[in-house]
Structure 1
């Protein structure tokens, strides 16, 4: 992918008046952090529908990287985390804009979620996959698709919360202090999770593995990883929301 021109947009001639970098320095930084864009695209491409191909996702991610550089300023050891959230957020925003899950699919997802809740109440516990398939009548493939979409929604909500938190830090008169406080808060949020839940979010956010890759690493099924990741994200999101 050519970092000089993305979706017909020539960055070499479109340097922001607010940028602290020269056009040449901006190009160099874009190429330096391009692997970050590619890792995030690889991570997300396994968890969303094929409404966008990989190249388009990389282009949008590169736009998020450029915006990160212009808002953040000179990169330091914290820049990768800040940029990662904006890159991921830019791609997810575009997927939402394109309505990557048609209304019928969204409605079916809600119905299936309600059916699983009903079964859970009847059993007094979380149902096994086979029990869900028998109760709902869906195929194993359809259930896997549901789990991927369900986990994706949870990831989007946490990404948005983390991104908003970082936005509050940038431009603050005490930006470094705010970022340190935010890092501590995130560490505290992870502390409320079980060891396996913390590992899953660490592999996802810090090592940028996809849910499918995490399933292979932990030798668990895709379905189980989706369930655990959603559970972990719900706990972390609740903690961060309560603290804000």
Structure 2
């Protein structure tokens, strides 16, 4: 009998099919919801939670298609970055800060500075609401929007304006610079950034950890981001 050259076991050893996309969407839906909650500070009235999650689902599918293998311990972290990135890209595309909101944020920041100068301390949410003739919840939303402007400015600068990496060594240099600059912040600022970017807590959760109001956490986060950007500029 002629040898066909095929091994029966090899012929039958077919790789199992990858997990279906619907199963991936179901399994990692909590990840999408967590990313949307994490980016709540960049959501305006023109882009609600459901919209954010739909965009995140597309980011999850893109992450799954690019990953090339079954989900493992590293996939969740990889997918979260892709999901968050897709949400940020969509926010930029929509120009999510209409002129009226920009004006309101400017007014909020101006009143906050005036109250600080007059009181000699940071104003409370109630004091800001009274001065702005609005509700405490509206004060919080303006604080989120103000914080988001600073965050987007830093992210855009890191992506293209500050130092565009041209080689792997440039990436290492930037990582070392970031580490050095982060180390120059005070302990509370480092903790806040760690809770937001590493522990992936949202502003409400961070406020509970630090024992502060949400609007105060937004204000501190904005200050940290602006300091971080300026110190990065000075370091390069």
TM-score by length of 2: 0.68
Unaligned regions of 5+ residues in structure 2, if any?
A: 1-16
State the partner residue of 2:229: 237
Q: Which residue of 1 aligns with 2:187?
A: 195
Structure-1 separation of matches of 2:31 and 2:88: 16
Instruction: Classify 1:227/1:240 alpha carbon distance in 2 versus 1 (closer, same or farther; 3 Å).
Output: same
Measure, in 2, the Cα distance between the counterparts of 1:220 and 1:161. 29
SS in 2 for 1:49: coil
- Which residue of 33, 39, 46 maps to 1:44? 39
Q: CA distance change for structure 1 residues 86 and 229 in 2, over 3 Å: closer, same or farther?
A: same
1:8 matched to which residue of 2? Answer: none
Gap regions ≥5 residues in structure 1? 1-23
Partner Cα separation in structure 2 for residue 168 and residue 70 of structure 1:
27
Q: CA RMSD in A?
A: 4.1
What is the CA deviation profile of residues 131-183 of structure 1, one whole-angstrom value per residue up to 9, with x for unaligned ones?
434433333222111111111222222233344489944xx543xx4333322
CA contact (8 A) 2:196 2:202 kept: yes
Q: Tell me which residue corresponds to 1:111.
A: 107
- What secondary structure does 2:39 align onto? helix
Name the structure 1 match of 2:152.
Answer: 156
Aligned position for 2:86: 90
Q: After TM superposition, which residue ranges in structure 1, 4 or more long, deviate above 6 angstroms?
A: 24-28, 65-74, 77-83
**Cα displacement (A) at 1:208:** 1.2
Q: Distance in 1 between matches of 2:212 and 2:80?
A: 26
SS of the aligned residue for 2:100 comes to helix
CA distance in 2, matches of 1:152, 1:54: 16
| Counterpart secondary structure, 1:138 | coil
Larger radius of gyration: 2
> How far is the alpha carbon of 1:69 from its aligned partner?
8.8
Aligned partners of 2:74 and 2:158: how far apart in 1?
14
In structure 1, the residue corresponding to 2:44 is in which secondary structure?
A: coil
Equivalenced residue count is: 215
TM-score under structure 1 length normalisation: 0.66
Return the offset for 1:211.
1.0
Provide the rounded CA distance (Å) in 1 between the counterparts of 2:172 and 2:74: 9
1:113: how far off? 1.9
Change (3 A) 1:73 1:242: farther
Offset of 1:78 from its aligned partner? 9.9
Cα distance in structure 2, aligned partners of 1:142 and 1:48: 14
